[in-house]
Amino acid sequence: MTIENETVNAALLQLHEVFSVTATDEAGTFLLDIDVTDVKGQRSRCEYVSRRSDTFGLNVTIRKWLEENPKFPIQPYTPPTPEELREAVPSLTARQLRLGLVNKGITPSQVVAALELLPSGRAKDTALIEWEYATTFQRTHALVALIGAVLGLTGEQIDKMWNSALSL
């Protein structure tokens, strides 16, 4: 893309409406829910992070809008809940999960033995199939909570093991 094209595309950027502004844990940085026209000329509603020092894209226009609308309500920053943080954690491969458990002193055979203690039926069969055949695991998947509960692990212990396993 040439500089001339970039200038034309930047001219297409438009801020149409601001629906909400929320503070973040970073001073002077806000998360906005806005209606914009993007560089392709397409209008849409989206979330936009505005940092005081950012001079790219629509941010100059947004910062000017913020200055011109000092009475617009800014929602306070609310730290994410533990569950929201867990939802944002990357998935683990089956290898990473099993190695993470082993590093915590839990063998795969202990997991299978724990799952075998479940009452016979569809839930048990599903759990065993998930454990044996899933190639990735999400932190918030019911099987992870089930295995943790059966093995007596707290959510925080699972979080710690999960974060360590991400680098394996």
For the chain, the average pLDDT equals 91
Identify the DSSP state of 101.
H
Which tokens in the block code for residue 87? 């939802």
Q: What's the mean pLDDT in 11-15?
A: 83
Q: Which residues pair with 48 in a beta bridge?
A: 32
Q: Give the integer Cα–Cα distance in Å for 90 and 148.
A: 18
pLDDT of 117 > 70? The answer is yes
pTM over 0.75: no
Which segments of 69-154 does DSSP mark as H helices, in order? 82-88, 94-103, 108-116, 122-133, 142-150
Q: Give the integer Cα–Cα distance in Å for 22 and 17.
A: 15
Residue 153: which residues within 8 A CB-CB, separation 6 or more? 147, 161
What's the Cα-to-Cα distance from 15 to each of 68, 104, 112, 133, 142, rounded to whole Å?
14, 51, 55, 48, 41
* pLDDT reported for residue 49: 96
* pLDDT reported for residue 164: 96
* pLDDT reported for residue 135: 97
